[in-house]
Amino acid sequence: MLPAARRQATIRRASSPFAIYWQNASMPTPEEYRKTAEAYYRLALEAKTEADRLALLKLAEHWLEAASREDNKTSEQAAATQKPTP
């Protein structure tokens, strides 16, 4: 089962018909991305067909890539806050 949202989010329409804003919604943490990837890996182990197994493994890979990107963002943000200002 995939992790549920941490808290209820409300949707508000923006001035553009193509934009939607989520209020009170936070981005998942890298750990939550990894847990989702793990769930897809477990589902892949139980897949009935090779096509399903490969699709689930690809989804798991994408979630791990998202976790890695978030880890990099966090590291870059931490480094930026520690740089001395001239």
pLDDT in tens, 8-63: 455 555 554 545 555 566 788 999 999 999 999 999 999 999 999 999 999 999 99
Domain-embedded: residue 78 = no
Q: Indicate yes or no: pTM above 0.75.
A: no
Handedness of CA 54, 57, 63, 67 (dihedral sign): negative
What range defines the domain where residue 62 resides?
32-67
Domain count, the chain: 1
Domain-embedded: residue 73 = no
Domain-embedded: residue 37 = yes
Domain-embedded: residue 48 = yes
Q: Which long-range contacts (CB under 8 A, 24 or more apart) does 44-51 make?
A: none
Both tokens of 56, joined, read: 């689930």
Domain-embedded: residue 41 = yes
Domain-embedded: residue 39 = yes
Domain-embedded: residue 20 = no
Domain-embedded: residue 7 = no
